[in-house]
Every structure is written in structure tokens, then in C-alpha cells.
Chains A and B, each alone.
Chain A
């Protein structure tokens, strides 16, 4: 997947930016199906901790993933959290990634791209498709398939 990302931003690519614990992340816009406000989620007993539950999105069952938990961060307790989520499709199943807040869509150029620093936290390295150097901050590309694959791995 990371190879794909590299291939596909030979020139530039659109990313939906999201904020988790003040860190900016990006998801390729083409992978995003929906952006949702706070939803009522049914918890699923015995599910892995990162599975926040399931919800009904226009008649389809969507599995909600707590991205904070997945990234090894503390549960969100600051006021910044909006309970928003980004819906992505993976292996023809829908997942909603619960994140702190959603930002703008940015068009990022390949020249700004850099692969993961080898010293990055292994857990993050696993789900990061690389880093974009923005003017004021850094953007971590979320590798959605990896994020979801390892959830049950």
C-alpha cells in the first residue's frame, strides 16, 4: 500500500487531513466515503479494545474503530474532540475511524513527501504510509488498509 501511495503521488495527491492528539494525519481523499458527526455506537462485547462498536450508516452496518486506541494513545479527554469519524471501505466492509477532528483537504506535492523516519514508534511506523512536510507542521499519511488489517492481526 505504501508503494501505491508513492506511485500515485508522482505529482500531487489530495488528502483529507484529520487531527488526533494534536498530530495532523492525512487520508487519501479517494479512500474516504463519508465524514460523520458524532454517532451513537453500539458496543460489541468481547471485541478487541480498538473496536468502539458498530453503527448504522444508511442501512449498512459500519464498524467503528477508535483510532486513538489503535495508535496507542490515551482515550480522548480534551475538549477538542468532536467525536467525528471518517468512513472508509476496506475489503468491501465499511469502517468508521473515530478521530478528534477533521481538517481541510490538502493537495500535497510529491516533493514534500518523505518515508517514515526509522526511529518512529513501531506502532506508528506500521500504520504510517510516510510523512509530508507541511509549512508549519508534519502530516502523517494514514495507511488505512494497514491500520485496519492489523486490528485483528
Chain B
């Protein structure tokens, strides 16, 4: 971009900001001549420069706005809110054009006719609303622009008036007719020129004066932000190097370097402070737009709102300033829109008609605190409570039990807006959750206090800077990590016994911290760190404070606090929520910086999910066919007892025989609002003469079916070791359970029998037992516990030693641990990492890349199969087809075997 244009843009942006403020001031004091003069001058300067730079569109708008301002200045027009709005509109247009100019380097295409028509109408003395006749614009703007030289003020004004005089005669008639009715302006109409000239001279004089004064006001230098950023980076490096040097010094008892290093230490600290200062900006910069927003809001909503700003001079890092700008704007808008009531409601509530929104910023202990408070109606607790329930965020009982403080916190949830109507301003339910996320992103927190009827106060706590933070260095399983000091509340040392003991609730560690129960996460468990030796019982709890909740991070050791330079995480690792960056320590090693909010999120997820991984402490446990399985034993007729894995059974029900209905030869029962097919285990199930029959309900997602049996016998834990295959349909074979020969039920068979549409056809051939030679190790990855439990016995029965996992990530972990399998079966649709990704990962150089991989899906389109093969699957199978599954498995294995042998030769 042209240097001149770039400078113009910087300048204009500054002008526009002060114009906003001046105009607001003008609205308060319509008679402030000085203010009008200063506004006029600013607009004039903008106009002049654009003429010079050849920006016709910008110039035209500025010019017409200046005309109107000229009228104010002459006293020909009285400043009214409508006029101010019009000028604001022009400023917005100018801003829009300037923004486009910044982006593209040229003026955007488009027409300003509408705006110009309005401005001209006001200028010509017509009432604004009546002036919406764009066609009557005296001249096309471009011509006008071309005609104005753009530098000399008087000439311009003259030219403008010449343009006005060049109006067609009928237009003049119109004006004079209107003038009589609208305002008493006729007398001035004839003499603005003189007045304007006079004022302009005065202005010019003043301007000169300003110029002379300028240097003494503030000696500033415009420096490119990039230069400051570079400086900051270099200082950061210097801080690191200093830390290294000091570390070396500490290990030496006597050194000639000691004195100069101390000095260097001081200088670097001061330099760091100084450079940080250059990045500091008063928070008022982020607020400059707010008065305007509140003003527009109050007009739009018919409210009276005062915005009071305190502590504008409080300085903070410009990077942070940028990041909090939008959240702040949003919150102030919210206060005006949701918080402040309409004047008559306020009077009715015994409050002054004009509502107040107060913004306050101040330093407190290394943080910046920003408070946004209003004296409006406060948060409607009951409304939010109702909303929580209707949005399904909590049940009615849970919601009723919540304290009002707890209820209020829900406004930070996504999708909860209490504004009954969605206004153009707010109420779309995306807002406070985004605000909170943004604030947490910069390591801050947000709190809310609200009293219904009295008002609300939001308190935002943010760090001073992001570039250098002080962090606590901790160690877990031999690895060091940094935790930002900002979120560390206290440190506790634990011991085996006594008060400082970690207690367990169903495997979840907690800690009694004074009168509260603190949830704990252990860092090694969270990060899946491998330990050489078991952790000592003397551990440390880093009590961590986040927006979501407080918790303790259990670590092995705590080192000191260090000033660290935060470096962004490389892209490869961005997906890991737990780290907010990395840094280089004084000893030169690289360590990761933990993100407490990420830790809270991940830990919270773990706590609520039914993950099969043991979260903390113990090694992961896997469900393998070598483990004991809970079995439900039942009988049908007087035959041998039957067994089915308990985990497959969703529920046990007693169904009244009178409730059983028949439809197209299929028994049905109405069950939980839908029809559930029933199937007797076999023909020997006696249906007559009984009022109720026990039914085993199997269900997966929405589908369920009931298996009618004669009697439920027992639940027992046994190894399933099917020893004899069965040719009888519906049975896998026989096993010894509780010292009795028991038939193991093939649930798949019954599922197929009831849900033919879903399950693929079933060959009637009896199942051929697996090859007797040594058991093949098989890994099954499927997120559905139902299928896992169903397939483990089936595959175990076919002679495989089955390991079942519920997600691909833990599978990859096993791969890393060096576990080996002969064949892997993976589901495709899985949360977090789907089967395709899993296959890619496995095939791209993991220890399993040579292991055959079979995809198992509930639906397989040709595209899916193609994709699967591309991802690295050797075979693609549909679920529920036991025989094909078994035969494909053995086929795949033998093919693979041959291929390997071929390779060996």
C-alpha cells in the first residue's frame, strides 16, 4: 500500500475515534461551540486528505457531512439527536470505507446516494425524514468530488455552495416551501457563506496554534507494532538466557562472573519491564466504542442509560486488550439490553428513571480486574431455572435444588438466553458462553453476582500480560511441567495417614481441604505418563482455581516459581487441550505449560463418562475373554441351564401374558412407549396357563427385543470357556458354569430373528469350530458396550483370545506399549477417533502396521468400503453376521500368513 495512504488510514482511524466521543459530548451539550468546531475540523481534515489522495467516495461522504456540520457551527441548525444520529451514520459509512481501504487498498464499490440525500436535505434545511428523495441529489457525487480541489478550506466551502446554488429551480421552490414549515432558517439561508468564511479563518488560526502546541503535549513516536513484537521476543530470549546464566552461577561457589551477572540481571529485569510497558495500552482504548453502543442501544430500546467508566487509564498488554475487546462490548451490550429496565418499569420499581452501567478497571495483585455492573433488574433466577429445565441442562428436581448462585452460573452455558425476544442486540443465546471461553483463553476468569431487582455485577480477572508469566514448576513421573501461577491457589502436601490423606470414592480420589471436598486429578494419570516406580505416598496437591470448578492436581514434586516465556504449542499438538504452550527453562530444557482450564475440562469429562480406562493411578484394565464374565443363568423347559453375559442384558422384566399382542405372527408387547418384539427362547417355553413370564430385554440404542424364558435362576461370575460347539440354533455351545454343563446363548441369533431388516441374512450352516492350533490374539475396538459384549464370547468361542477396547485411542496406546495381536477388528463409527483414522494411524508405521485390520460396521456402502480400504483396512464386514465374520477372520489370517511367508522367502 502507498505509504501516504497507510499514514492517512492510521490518522483517520484516530480521528474517527475522537469524533465518536466528541459527537456524544455534543449530544449532551448541543451548544458547545468549541466541540462543534473541533468536530468540523476533524471531518474537514479527513475530507481534505481524501481529496488529495484521490478517494472520491470517502471524500463525498465527508464533504456532505461537513456541510451539515458547518450549519451547526453557524448556528443555522440546532443540534438534535436526529441530526447527531445522521452524522454518526456518516461516520459509520466513512469507517466502512476506511476498513475496506485497509483491506483491499482501494475504495469499495457501492453507492452512498441514500446517505448523501439525507445529508443534503438537512444541509438544505429540510427536515430529515421528509428528505428521503435520493433521485433529487443535486449532482452525482463523483463529479462533485472531481470539482473540489480538496485542500483550501474556503474554496471548498464556496464550491459546495456553488453546487447548492446550481440546484434546479424547482428544487429551490421546494426548499423555500418547506422552510416555512420546518424551522426558522430562512434568514440564515442567505448568509452562511460569510459566516463560514469567518469561522474558517478563525479555525485556521486555531489549527496553527494547535500545531505549535502539539510537541509539548506528549512526545510520542509512532512505532510499528511488529517492531515492538520483535523487541518483546528478543527480551524474552534475554530473560531466558539470564535465567540460564543465573542457574549456572548458582552451582558455582565462587565466580568472577557473580558481580557482572547480578548487574546484568537487574538490567534485564528493567529492560523487560520497559519493553512490556511499550506494549501497554490504557484499557480506555478498548472502551472507546462503548458510549456509542450504549447510546444507540438506548435509542433503539427506548431506555435511558448512563454509562460510567472508571479507571480508563489502567494499562494492560495490547495483545490482551485486543482479546477482551469483544467480550467486553458484548457484556456492556447485555447490561443495557437485558439488565436495565424501561424508564417506566424503573420508576415503578422505585429507581431513578435513568439506569446506570458502570465499567471499572483496576489492578489487583498482578491481575487486572474489570467490573461491569448495572443497577437493572438483575438475573431472573426463576426464569433461568425454568430455562435450564426446558433446555435439558438439568432435571426439574436438580434445578429446584440449586442455589440462586448456582442457577446464575448457567448463563455461561451455551444455548441459554433469558431474553424472551431476540432483539437485534442480544438474546440469541450465543454470548456469555463465548465470553467466558474467550476470557479463559487468556488465562482469566469471570465471576457473576446478581441480585434480582437490584442489578448484576460481572467481575473479570485477567493477567497483565501473556508473554511472560510466572509459573509453578512441578514434576510427575520424572517429567516436569509448568502450571501458571495465576490459577494456583495453594499447595498441600499429602501423607499416608492423618488429615492430609487422599481418600477414594469408587476409585475417584478426593481430598478434604478444610471444609470442602476437593476433586483430584493425578497428573501422571491424566497425561498417561509411565512410571518406573510406584508413586510415593508423599505427594503434592496443587489446588487449582478455574472458572469451571476448583480441583487439585496431584504431582510428585514441586519446584520453585519461575518467570517463563510462553511459546505457542506447535500445530501438531494443538489438539491436546491440556497444554497452553511450552517454554524453555533456565537449565535449557523444554517443558510443557499446563492449561488449568483444559485440565478441568478433560478431568471433568473423565469423571462423568463411563470410560473403561481407570482414570487415576492403576494401570488400565482391559476386558478380555480371559477375564471372568458376569453371567445370567436361566432355564427353559427342563433342559440344561442357559447362560447369557449379563452385560448384554439391558433389563429383566416380567411381562403379563395378557399384554402380549400378536402382529404378523410376531409377538409384541408395548414397552416404554413403543412396541418391542418378543421371542420365546424355543418352542418349549410354556405360554399357556401363566399370568406372567420373565423376559430378558436386550437393547442397543433404540432397538430392543425381549427373550421369553421360563425362569431366571441366578447371576454368577465365571470364565466363559465354550468347550462344545452346538448345532442348535440360538446356542453358541456348552460350557461348565457353576460345575454344571450350561448352554451359552447366542444373543446374536435372537437379535437377528427379530430385527431382520437391520441384521444381514444369516446362513443356516452350523458354526464350524476354530482351528485347534494355538489361540490367535484378536483386538476388538468398538465403542458400543453392547457389541463388545456380544462379540467377545462369539470370537472367544471361535478360538480367539479377545481383547476388547472401547476406543481407538486406548488401542493405539496398547500399540505403543508394544502389545501384539494377530488380527484387529475395528468399528468405524466411534467418538473421538473413528475407524478410518485409527486404520491410518495403525498402518502408518505403528507397531501394528503388518497386522491385518478388519472393519466392522453396521452399514457399509461401497463408498465406505472404498474409504476403508484406502485407510488401510484389509476387509470390510457388516456387524451381526457371525459366520461371515468368523470365516473372514480366518481367511484374512491365512492370507496374511501366506503373504508373510512369501515375503520371508
How far is B592's CA from A63's CA once the two chains are assembled, in angstroms?
Answer: 12
CA of A48 to CA of B572 in the docked complex: distance in angstroms? 8
Assess whether B578 is in contact with A123, with CB atoms less than 8 Å apart. Answer: no
Q: Are B845 and A73 in contact (CB under 8 A)?
A: yes
Which residues of the other chain, B, contact A70 by a CB distance below 8 angstroms?
844-845
Nearest B residue (CB) for A50: B845
Minimal Cβ-Cβ distance residue in A for B480: A42
Whole-angstrom distance from the CB of B564 to the nearest CB of chain A? 12
B631 at interface by CB-CB < 8 Å: no
For A43, list chain B residues within 8 Å (CB).
479
Which chain B residue lies CB-closest to A95? Answer: B570
Q: List 20 A-B contacts (CB under 8 A).
A: A44-B579, A44-B592, A46-B576, A47-B573, A49-B812, A49-B816, A49-B845, A49-B846, A50-B845, A54-B582, A54-B590, A56-B590, A61-B570, A61-B590, A63-B570, A71-B845, A72-B844, A72-B846, A152-B574, A152-B575
Knowing A42-B591, A43-B479, A45-B527 touch, does A152 contact B845 (C-beta < 8 A)? no
Q: Are B845 and A93 closer than 8 Å at their CB atoms? A: no
Bound Cα distance A59, B528 (Å): 28
In the complex, whether A119 has a CB less than 8 A from a CB of chain B is no
Number of A-B contacts (CB under 8 A): 84
Contacts beyond the supplied A43-B479, A59-B584: 9 A-B pairs with Cβ under 8 Å: A42-B589, A42-B590, A45-B592, A61-B583, A63-B573, A69-B845, A74-B847, A91-B571, A151-B572
The digit string for A71-107, where 1 denotes a CB below 8 A from any CB of B, is 1111000000000000000010101000000000000
Q: Does A18 contact B (CB under 8 A)?
A: no
CB of B843 within 8 Å of the partner chain:
yes
- Which residues 549-585 of B sit at the A interface, judged by CB distance below 8 A? 567, 570-576, 578-579, 582-584
CB distance from A70 to the nearest CB of B (A): 6
* Closest CB in chain B relative to A98 CB, distance in Å: 13
Main secondary structure of the interface of A (DSSP, over half): mixed
Within 8 A of A (CB), among B233-282: 237, 240-241
Q: Is B588 in the interface zone, CB < 8 Å from A?
A: yes
| Least distance between A107 CB and chain B CB atoms (Å) | 31
User: Does B529 lie at the interface of the complex (its beta carbon under 8 Å from any beta carbon of A)?
Assistant: yes
Which residues of chain A come closer than 8 Å to B584, judged between CB atoms?
56, 59, 61
Residues of B within 8 A of A152 (CB): 571-575
Contact of A59 with B571 at beta-carbon distance under 8 Å, contacts A50-B845, A54-B582, A123-B843 already known: no
Mark B residues whose CB is within 8 Å of A. Answer: 237, 240-241, 479, 527-529, 567, 570-576, 578-579, 582-584, 588-592, 812, 815-816, 841, 843-847, 849, 870
Closest to A53 in B: B590
Across the interface, name the chain B residue whose C-beta is closest to A91: B571
Nearest CB of B to A67, in Å: 10
C-alpha spacing A63/B590, complex, angstroms: 10
Contacts of A51 in B (CB 8 A): 572-573
Q: How far is the CB of B12 from chain A (nearest CB, A)?
A: 32
Chain B residues, Cβ within 8 Å of A69: 845-846
* Assembled-state Cα–Cα distance A44/B480 (Å): 10
Check: A6 CB closer than 8 A to any chain B CB. Answer: no
**A70, closest chain B residue (CB):** B845
Q: How many residues of A contact B (CB 8 A)?
A: 33
* Chain B residue with the shortest CB-CB distance to A152: B572
Q: Which chain A positions have C-beta within 8 A of B841?
A: 48-49
A46 lies within 8 A of B527 (CB) = yes
CB neighbours (8 Å) of A40 from chain B are 589
Whether A55 is near chain B, meaning CB under 8 Å from some CB there, is yes
User: Would you give the shortest CB distance from B603 to chain A, in whole angstroms?
Assistant: 14
* A148 / chain B contacts, CB cutoff of 8 Å: 572
| Interface membership of A68, Cβ < 8 A | yes
- Cα separation A104 to B579 with both chains bound (whole Å): 39
Task: Look across to chain B and name the residue whose beta carbon is closest to the beta carbon of A151.
Answer: B572
CA distance A69 to B241 in the complex (A): 34
Interchain CB contact under 8 A, B590 and A93: no
- Distance in angstroms between the alpha carbons of A73 and B849 in the assembled complex: 9
Chain A residues with CB under 8 Å of B847's CB are 74
- Which residue of chain B is the closest to A150 with respect to CB atoms? B844
Bound together, the chains give a CA A2 to CA B605 distance in angstroms of: 42
Q: In the assembled complex, how far is the CB of residue B451 from the closest CB belonging to chain A, in whole angstroms?
A: 44
Nearest Cβ in chain B — how far from A49, in angstroms? 6
A45 with B844, Cβ < 8 A, contacts A51-B573, A61-B567, A63-B572 known = no
CB distance from A60 to the nearest CB of B (A): 8
Contact (Cβ within 8 A) B575 A68 = no
Q: Which residues of B contact A68 (CB under 8 A)?
A: 845
What's the nearest-Cβ distance from chain B to residue A40, in Å? 7
Tell me whether A123 and B844 are in contact (CB under 8 A): yes
A55 to chain B, nearest CB (A): 6
Q: Which residues of A contact B527 (CB under 8 A)?
A: 45-46
Bound-complex Cα distance A30 to B572 (A)? 23
B868 to chain A, nearest CB (A): 14
Q: How far, in Å, is B230 (CB) from chain A's closest CB?
A: 14
Q: How far, in whole Å, are A152 and B572 apart by their CA atoms in the complex?
A: 5
**Could you say which residues of chain B place their CB within 8 Å of the CB of A48?**
572, 841
Closest chain B residue, CB of each to CB of A73: B845
Q: Which residues of A contact B578 (CB under 8 A)?
A: 45-46
Greatest chain B CB density within 10 A among A43, A46, A55, A63 is at A46
**Are B528 and A45 touching (Cβ within 8 A)?**
yes
| A95, B168: Cα distance in complex, Å | 72
Given contacts A42-B591, A59-B241, contact A93 B846 (CB under 8 A): no
Distance from A44 Cβ to chain B, minimum over Cβ atoms (Å): 6
CB-CB contacts of A141-153 with B at 8 A, as 1s and 0s? 0000000100110
| Chain B residues with CB below 8 A from A123, complex form | 843-845
CA distance A68 to B588 in the complex (A): 27
User: Which of B575, B588, B592 touches A56 (beta carbons < 8 Å)?
Assistant: B588
B605 → A minimal CB distance (Å): 14
Identify which of B240, B241, B571, B841 gathers the most chain A CB atoms within 10 Å of its CB.
B571
Measured between beta carbons, the chain A residues less than 8 angstroms from B579 are 44
A22 to B62, CA, bound (A): 71
What is the CB-to-nearest-CB distance from A68 to chain B, in angstroms, rounded to a whole number? 7
Interface string of A120-148 (1 = CB under 8 A from B): 00110000000000000000000000001
Min C-beta distance of A148 to chain B, whole Å: 8
Taking CB atoms, residues of chain A closer than 8 Å to B844 are 70, 72, 123
Interface centre among B527, B590, B812, B846 (most CB of A within 10 A): B590
Query: With a CB–CB cut-off of 8 A, which chain A residues contact B570?
Result: 54, 61, 63, 93, 95
**Known: A42-B591, A44-B592. Is A93-B849 also a contact (CB below 8 A)?**
no
Chain B's nearest CB lies how many Å from the CB of A45? 4
Establish whether residues A93 and B571, one from each chain, have CB atoms under 8 Å apart when the complex forms: yes
B233 to chain A, nearest CB (A): 10
Whole-angstrom distance between the Cβ of B165 and the nearest chain A Cβ: 60
* Complex-state Cα separation, A48 to B809, whole angstroms: 10
Output the nearest chain B residue to A72 by Cβ-Cβ distance: B845
- Provide the A18-32 mask, 1 if CB < 8 A to any CB of B, else 0: 000000000000000
Which of B479, B572, B591 has the most C-beta atoms of chain A within 10 angstroms of its own C-beta? B572
Shortest Cβ distance from residue A77 to the other chain B in the assembled complex, whole angstroms: 13
User: In the complex, which residues of chain A have a beta carbon less than 8 angstroms from the beta carbon of B590?
Assistant: 42, 53-56, 61
